[in-house]
Chains A and B, each alone.
Chain A
């Protein structure tokens, strides 16, 4: 390499001292071919710098490498980065749809449900045309009679010897009917009344009074009622619950699927994986809040360099916990099954998570129940300054106990 070439290359390399630069400039002033050589070297350098793009290795090559090293394969599809935008929306919209569907199923209140834990529960259903004797247990048959197609409404309240249970029977008015007369043995006859007047039944003779019970008459205005029936129920069901407002639930999910871009290998699962437990405080019969926690895996997709083809997936297992709320409205008509909606906000060691559950609950007694449903969970985590999300869904089954 001659002196002029060396001077040019050192000048381009920024290693030429000031004296050498002066010498180079003098030579280039006298020799145009040196100036051309400098321009060519500069062009080559610019072309090389423009060509310094990252030569990402092919995905198939990387997969072979990772398989050879027995590491998790690098996926090629798009990561779950954008999935989180639909994850929360799916969970929330599913719950909204479920609530709306439940309201539609339950209708607009054509049937009146028995309200639990009331002070005055009903023990019998009485509709017009039936003998009162058939409806009021313990009432002497001699005290009843007559036609009950009464336009009026009469409430007969019988207080048995057990002071905790209060029995109430309510007549349903049929508009346009003649007034009925009720006669009880030893009682003054009930006066006939019109459609808008109450029907009274009262007892004045002490001999007719039951030695173990006292009858009271409560007159109520004859208010037209729509078809309302009070279902017969046992005093035990209608009695004020003796159990605490806490419910404990244990559940397990199965058939879990990761929202990963490629199928993940099935890691060995421990006994406690995909299990969860919760303690709820029942604010009402339908609404409860509480805490829950569990142990499960989430697929994570990581990109070491943005825009690169390398994506690394992993499925670490996490303990998670959080606050939850649960809404279980009334039973689906014709069944004993109640819809279940649940939402949870919690966290793991990697970041926050949100969960939603749609399902059904079946009470198998006062203190025990089963539930099943569909559950979605989303974990948020950060990597390389990016906030990423990982999702999973699956079916769940659980058992729950009301604490005594």
Chain B
């Protein structure tokens, strides 16, 4: 299938304008939106699920759903970023429900945590530690710290209150620190 309009015509449009064009059946508008969010959605899914295969499935399904729902359908999308992330989030939740249970904190320390001279870098440890967080804490932390969404946007994506979002993020940070305490003590 051939795109009739050159991509560069959409590079200066806002996300809201691109969604409006997508509703009019403009395929290049979808490609432009995809280009803007592909990395963020893939990173979000990867950090939420911790598995590249499942993250790839969620990533693919996210954009397919957005395309199928919005292409040729006039919809008012007030916050495109929240809408896209909310779509991805719902799919991540479905994948989490179908996934195997995560490793317990104690098991993590016994099996995965090594003495300081064999430790991976702190960033890698944080990524792995995310798997030990409750899903709603992990989700809020990832959206805030990795994807840079504001508390308000996170509230819209997750459908929770602003206060709850802050609590989830704070608790995620605190638990991460406690998980990583042995690493800090060794360092």
Contact = CB atoms under 8 A, between A and B. Distances in A.
B126 to A, nearest CB: 5
B170 A45 contact: no
A351 B12 CA distance: 18
A302 B7 contact: yes
B35 A312 contact: yes
A310 B11 CA distance: 15
A364 interface: no
Interface stretch (B38-46, B73-81, B103-111): B38-46
A270 interface: no
Nearest to A388: B8
B2 A315 contact: yes
A70 B1 contact: yes
A302 B3 CA distance: 12
A345 B67 CA distance: 41
B60 A54 contact: no
Contact of A310 (B38, B46, B181): B38
A382 interface: yes
Interface string B93-121: 00000000000000000000000000001
Interface in A76-119: none
A12 B166 CA distance: 13
A48 B146 contact: yes
B38 A71 contact: no
B7 A41 contact: no
A161 interface: no
A383 B146 contact: no
Contact of A381 (B1, B8, B122, B125): B8
A44 B60 contact: no
A378 interface: no
B126 A47 contact: yes
A9 B56 contact: no
B65 to A, nearest CB: 11
Interface in A21-65: 36-37, 40-41, 43-45, 47-52, 54-58, 61-62, 64-65
B11 A383 contact: yes
* Max chain B Cβ within 10 angstroms of own Cβ: one of A41, A50, A51, A64: A51
Contacts of B145: 45, 48-49
Interface of A: 1, 5-6, 9, 12, 36-37, 40-41, 43-45, 47-52, 54-58, 61-62, 64-65, 68-72, 265, 267, 300, 302, 304-305, 308, 310, 312, 314-316, 350, 381-384
19 contacts: A1-B171, A40-B177, A40-B181, A43-B122, A44-B173, A48-B123, A54-B40, A55-B43, A56-B38, A58-B56, A61-B59, A71-B31, A72-B1, A312-B7, A312-B35, A316-B4, A316-B6, A383-B11, A384-B8
Top 4 A-B residue pairs of the complex, sorted by shortest distance between their CB atoms? A304-B35, A55-B43, A54-B39, A383-B8
Interface of B: 1-8, 11, 27, 30-32, 35-36, 38-40, 42-43, 46, 56, 59-60, 63-64, 67, 121-123, 125-127, 145-146, 148, 170-171, 173-174, 176-177, 180-181, 184
